Structure 1
Amino acid sequence: MARIREHNRELIIQVASELFADKGFAATKIIDIANRAGIPKANIFYYFKNKKSLYLSVLETVIELLLQASSPFQENNDPVIALKEYIQAKIAISQSHPHASKVFAVEMILGAPHLPKEIADKMTEQTQQSSRHIQSWIDRGLIKQINPHHLLFTIWASTQTYADFNWQILKVTGKKKMDKKDYEQAADFIVELVLKGCDVRSSMAEANYPHWKWI
């Protein structure tokens, strides 16, 4: 029974993310979600108090993944490994949750009108923590003098575009759908762009040249 409930809840969130991405919060109706999911409208209210509650659940699915994606900054002392794993995680979110990513992007564009303050604060604090890790690598001479915030902004834009602007990418490439190899190539390219563009060095360089600094 618990497995059925979890399945139904995930189905509702998935369908809702598609409709919220296509129509926006205001234009999406609960009955439309129920019809596409193939379940009675009353079933949705069994799992979610109202439309806003369901919308927040859609946002939280991708926000949780975005927060988890930053873990390489805390778990790795080597900027080469941390940045590579971070970029790969961000691309993976665009691949696995494209609709929820679009919903999140629109929410940000509109000034986060529905996002609870505690979640917004948590995301801001984690971004600041990631920025501090990047700054520590800069101070140690492992990355050239850059603005950590702008590096993160650039990574966000380049990775999330594969979900938020998927239609445009498919139109340009002539594909009907991106496959696993496409996402892997995208991640590899962004990793190379960041590592070479910011002259990122492994912590092994610090061990070999402890007094080396960017000039």
Structure 2
Amino acid sequence: MAVVKRMPQKTGRIRTERVRLILKAAEQEFALNGYKGATVQRIADLANLPKPNVLYYFSNKQEIYDEVLNNILNLWNDKLNEFHPEDDPAESLERYIRSKVEVSRKYPTASRIFASEIIHGGQQLSSSMKTSTQEWVKNKVDIFQHWMDEGKMAHIEPMHLIFLIWGSTQHYADYEKQICWVMKKKKLPASEYEKAADTICNIVLRGCGLKA
């Protein structure tokens, strides 16, 4: 009987866990000190790992930063990637909006890092990240246009619809402190995020001529 070697599985689990710890620590460091002020050493300290271990998985600070930004983009865009021309517009839009609000609830720090990067000119964004985002938006615009041409939704400017959804859903991460201050709450409960999703869905769907 052949001997089954399990070491690669263990190594894979260790790698996955260490990368997770590094990226979680990196979010804290970048959120607190920005890209320029952040250091690999402090990321290592926050992750409770030696600096050489961090540099084993990521070549430098830029590579860690790119991965943090890519992760939040993937979280944001995951549900909209499921859009297809044959799908129901109302169901697709509602699914996307609710998933975006949920990401804002679960990953506010990552969202704020991305917002800060954009506010400061997006100088650290890689050209491939910019290109992939442009291509992603164009693909969704084409689907929205198809739905409009088929009479499935009202004629609106599809690119600005995407911007509207981005802004309204990410607001609950980027301006969480302001919302809590206005609502006199120490922390926004899950029920308020549900109300936010309901409200955004209602406004967007009605504005698109769809049944909310």
Same fold (TM over 0.5): yes
- Aligned counterparts, 1:19-168, within 5 A: 19-74=29-84, 77-168=87-178
Q: Could you list the per-position Cα deviations for residues 77-121 of structure 1 after superposition, in whole angstroms to 9, with x for gaps in the alignment?
A: 211101101101211221222111111122222332222222211
Q: Could you list the per-position Cα deviations for residues 45-71 of structure 1 after superposition, in whole angstroms to 9, with x for gaps in the alignment?
A: 122111111111111111222332312
Q: Structure 2 CA distance, aligned partners of 1:194 and 1:62? A: 23
Map of 2:5 onto structure 1: none
Residue 143 of structure 1 contacts residue 199 of structure 1 at CA under 8 Å; is this kept in 2?
Answer: yes
Q: Structure 1 CA distance, aligned partners of 2:42 and 2:71? A: 21
Map of 2:197 onto structure 1: 187
Map of 1:211 onto structure 2: none
Unaligned runs of 5+ in 1: 203-215
Partner SS state of residue 77, structure 1: coil
> TM-score, normalized by length of structure 1?
0.86
Between Structure 1 and Structure 2, how many residues are aligned?
202
Residue 143 of structure 1 contacts residue 201 of structure 1 at CA under 8 Å; is this kept in 2?
Answer: no
Residue 72 of structure 1 contacts residue 86 of structure 1 at CA under 8 Å; is this kept in 2?
Answer: no
- Which residue identity is paired with 1:193? I
Would the alpha carbon gap of residues 186 and 75 (structure 1) be closer, same or farther in structure 2, given more than 3 Å must change?
farther
Q: Structure 2 CA distance, aligned partners of 1:37 and 1:100? A: 16
Q: What's the offset of the Cα at 1:2?
A: 2.6
Residue 21 of structure 1 contacts residue 103 of structure 1 at CA under 8 Å; is this kept in 2?
Answer: yes
> TM-score, normalized by length of structure 2?
0.87
- Which residue identity is paired with 1:199? G
Q: Structure 1 CA distance, aligned partners of 2:14 and 2:120? A: 35
Q: Structure 1 CA distance, aligned partners of 2:165 and 2:142? A: 16
Unaligned runs of 5+ in 2: 1-10
Q: Structure 1 CA distance, aligned partners of 2:95 and 2:145? A: 18
Q: What's the offset of the Cα at 1:185?
A: 1.7
Structure 1 range deviating more: 102-111 or 86-95: 102-111
Q: What's the offset of the Cα at 1:76?
A: 5.5
